[in-house]
Amino acid sequence: MIPLVSRLSRQWVRWTCAPSPGAVQAIMRKPRAAVGSGHRKQAASQEGRQKRAKNNSQAKPSACDAGLARQPEEVVLQASVSSYHVFRDLAEVTAFRGSLLSWYDQEKRDLPWRRRAEDEVDLDRRAYAVWVSEVMLQQTQVATVINYYTGWMKEVNQLWAGLGYYSRGRRLQEGARKVVEELGGHMPHTAETLQQFLPGVGRYTAGAIASIAFGQATGVVDGNVARVLCRVRAIGADPNSTLVSQQLWGLAQQLVDPARPGDFNQAAMELGATVCTPQRPLCSQCPVESLCRARQRVERERLLASRSLSSSPDVEECAANTGQCHLCLPPSEPWDQTLGVVNFPRKASRKPPREESSATCVLEQPGALGAQILLVQRPNSGLLAGLWEFPSVTWEPSEQLQRKALLQELQRWAGPLPATRLRHLGEVVHTFSHIKLTYQVYGLALEGQTPVTTVPPGARWLTQEEFHTAAVSTAMKKVFRVYQGQQPGTCMGSKRSQVSSPCSRKKPRMGQQVLDNFFRSHISTDGHSLNSAAQ
């Protein structure tokens, strides 16, 4: 496995489609900010982290930051919001920060992007590492992302296939190219300029990069943070609504620790991911339980149920609890005693994914290097934009019409084909975020005839080994497994385990070898052997 420092650094250059030598040199030669030793222990002291944050805040801003005034962040307060749902004094905010950060220092998970943010002394490389992790983590669980991040990728779409949401990868590539070609190899340093200059970087990603990599005191709100804030301040309304979302961002900005903004934001996300979970929160392990209004509401309801509220200390509630507060539980969904703190927040019911069907065909022909299969590229917009797939058509109401439409699509790419060999092999069901797609899988093997050597733009013939490293979706890999399982007599073989072995992979190109040698001699490793880079 190639050490992550070296992999990320090389990917920065490789992704940009061979930028000019001057642009590459700008990355390699830019001075490193003095932000502490690159070999710090992971459990660094708070004093060390505060010093790093101070150094980050004093770092010279990049050219893309110049001329863009930084507007002061303010807590968002709405006239229709009760003070019950905000933090009303500095003492309460300070207590929240201190309790959360102390817990985080003891309980945080050891994740590769956190180690990189701790140890990488080059500001731009650190920001890039954070950027990659945040994009990967969008709509994807941490456990899934770890191996992808640690191994990283030879090409953005090649290994991205299992992560889904493929447009994220394209935007990340576009952004990396822009940094190298237009911004002199330097990342913007503030949340405002990150959003302004980098395609696909929104408010959350910009805040995460700016706070973790550059020490900017800016809050962030993702799904985990939103859930924590909703429970801590008893916000029961839909967090995706405009008013609630605005309020949550205001709370995040109010709470973020100016001395340790990156750690604070990660701590809030960590709390939501491991303790303040959606369905089974571990309230007894929560470092801010005493400040949580959701827990206070649970206690109040318990006392009411036992009819001992009058003899107990007052438990505060929203002064506007008359159905008029837009942050309280909606009148249509009153408090549910069985849910406890999970009453907050009440999300709008999610629509089930719509169901669609299509027919797809694995077209195979013999080739000089073994069997080849035909792939065509999807449009540049919409579902799975730009990825490669087997020729497909929408579902037809009858088998005869389906076969006719599919054969016409195949002939559009490969010319005349024997219709009698088109066979139905089974079906594959794959659910995307909003679509449940059923593929009727067909196969057509061209044996004993002249191979097709030319195809129109947007199509290509690949060997099986090339297919396994191509930018194809998980759904297409499922389709191919169905085809393999039904083709014991073809040159493709029937074993699902036929994948490219390490010894059969191509050696790095000369340009890549040059970069490998450069980083091998200039960048320290984190305990992994650089000699394994080509394995």
Residue of 118, 134, 192, 364 marked active site: 134
- For the chain, what percentages of helix, strand and coil (3-state, to nearest 5) are there? 45, 10, 45
Write the DSSP assignment of 365-432 as a string of letters. Answer: E--TTS-EEEEEEPPSSSTTTT-EE--EEE--SSHHHHHHHHHHHHHHHH-S--GGG-EEEEEEEEE-
Give dist(CA 255, CA 75) in Å, integer. 9
Q: Buried (b) or exposed (e) across 279-302, using 16+ Cβ within 10 A?
A: eebebeebbbbebbbbbbbbebbe
Neighbours of 197 (CB within 10 A): 20
> What single DSSP character describes residue 343?
G
Could you give the CA distance from residue 504 to residue 484 in angstroms, rounded to a whole number?
Answer: 21
Q: Is 134 a catalytic site residue? A: yes
Task: Quote the CA–CA distance of 59 and 449 in Å, as a whole number.
Answer: 66
- Residue 419 tokens, joined: 């219709």
- DSSP 8-state code for residue 104: H
CA distances (Å), origin 494, targets 204, 364, 421: 46, 14, 18
Q: Encode burial over 369-383: b for 16+ CB neighbours within 10 A, e otherwise.
A: eebbbbbbebeeeeb
Type of residue found at 465: E
Q: Which residue matches tokens 């001329």? A: 67
What is the C-alpha separation between 164 and 161, in angstroms, rounded?
A: 6
Element holding 272 (H helix, E strand): helix 261-274
Residue 435's beta-bridge partner residues?
Answer: 354
Measured between alpha carbons, how far is 104 from 273 in angstroms, rounded to an integer?
Answer: 12
Give the pairing of strands 372-377 and 354-365.
Answer: antiparallel
Instruction: Tell me the C-alpha distance between 533 and 516, whole Å.
Output: 8
CB-CB neighbours of 523 under 10 Å: 19
Handedness of CA 258, 260, 264, 265 (dihedral sign): positive
Alpha carbon distances (Å) from 240 to 204, 237, 347, 515:
14, 9, 8, 45
Alpha carbons 153 and 173: distance in angstroms, whole number? 12
From the number of C-beta atoms within 10 Å of its C-beta (0-12, 13-18, 19+), residue 99 rates as middle
For residues 59 and 226, what is the distance between their CA atoms, to the nearest angstrom? 31
Q: Which residues pair with 523 in a beta bridge?
A: none
Instruction: Return the active site residues.
Output: 134
